Amino acid sequence: MSLQQLKLKLKPEEMPAAVKALFEEADKRCDDFFGAGLGRRYPRYIPSDPLIVHAAMRYLRDEGHTRGDVFCEWGCGFGVATCMASLIGYEAYGIEIEPELADMAEKLAGDLNIPVQILNTSYLPEGYEECAGVGGEDLLIPETTTPRGEKVRIPPMYEGLDPDEVDVFFVYPWPGQEELMMSLFKTMASEGTLLLIYNGDREISAYVRTVDEEEEEEGEEEEEDW
């Protein structure tokens, strides 16, 4: 499997009224959240720059890089990026493991009448794990045995969302988790799926999953096994 990096050409643009309203309300709730000391419960929670993320989402869609309309954010926090995706025109899902943050994301979307689905679960599907590796976190992929005695990976699945149907994944990874997210994307994504990564400091990257001939042959062999 291969990933091809896409060159993003982002430029300032006038924000639609609904997006501006989302930014303003999200900023207010974020300030209230940290002002009340609630941020101490989630010391690693840092929101991405919504202007940069919005510009990247618009660029990918407007330039025809997206193959479809299903968007999924890993670790959505307040759900700002997920809500933005919905306003742009995606069928938007946000995954957040912390119940309190998931509730806040649902409330923000509900109060602004933005249709999204927030899944209160881990971005790692059942059976998938992360472990310490060289230079960061590594992904452990569960396996099963075919009738022919060969080991194959267990397909990832979320309750309420089939990752294979997602067209764009978005994530703002913690430091040291970049490679983990790349590995997770390679495991999850089918050909043509996009990965949008906010790297911090107003930097953002985009990748598209491609399939080489060797991988196509392996996929055909797995189908025959079953």
How far is 41 from 224, CA to CA, in rounded Å?
49
Q: Which residue reads 């060797």 in tokens? A: 214
Instruction: Read off the DSSP letter of residue 156.
Output: P
Higher pLDDT, 120 or 154: 120
pLDDT digits (tens, 9 = 90+) for 1-54: 688 999 998 876 778 899 999 999 998 988 888 787 766 676 666 778 888 999
Domains, the chain, ordered by start: 2-221 (3.40.50.150)
**With 50 as the cut, is the pLDDT of residue 171 above it?**
yes
pLDDT band at 135 (very low <50, low <70, confident <90, very high): low
Q: Which residue reads 């881990």 in tokens? A: 122
Record the pTM: 0.86
Alpha helix segments (H runs only) across the chain:
17-35, 50-62, 80-88, 99-111, 178-188, 213-225
The answer to whether 21 and 112 are in contact (CB under 8 A) is: yes
The answer to whether 123 and 97 are in contact (CB under 8 A) is: yes
How far is 113 from 132, CA to CA, in rounded Å?
41
Please report the pLDDT score of residue 43 as a whole number: 61
Structure tokens at 83: 């809500």
The mean pLDDT value for 53-65 works out to: 93
Structure tokens at 40: 């101490």
Please report the pLDDT score of residue 126 as a whole number: 86
Q: How many residues does the chain have?
A: 226
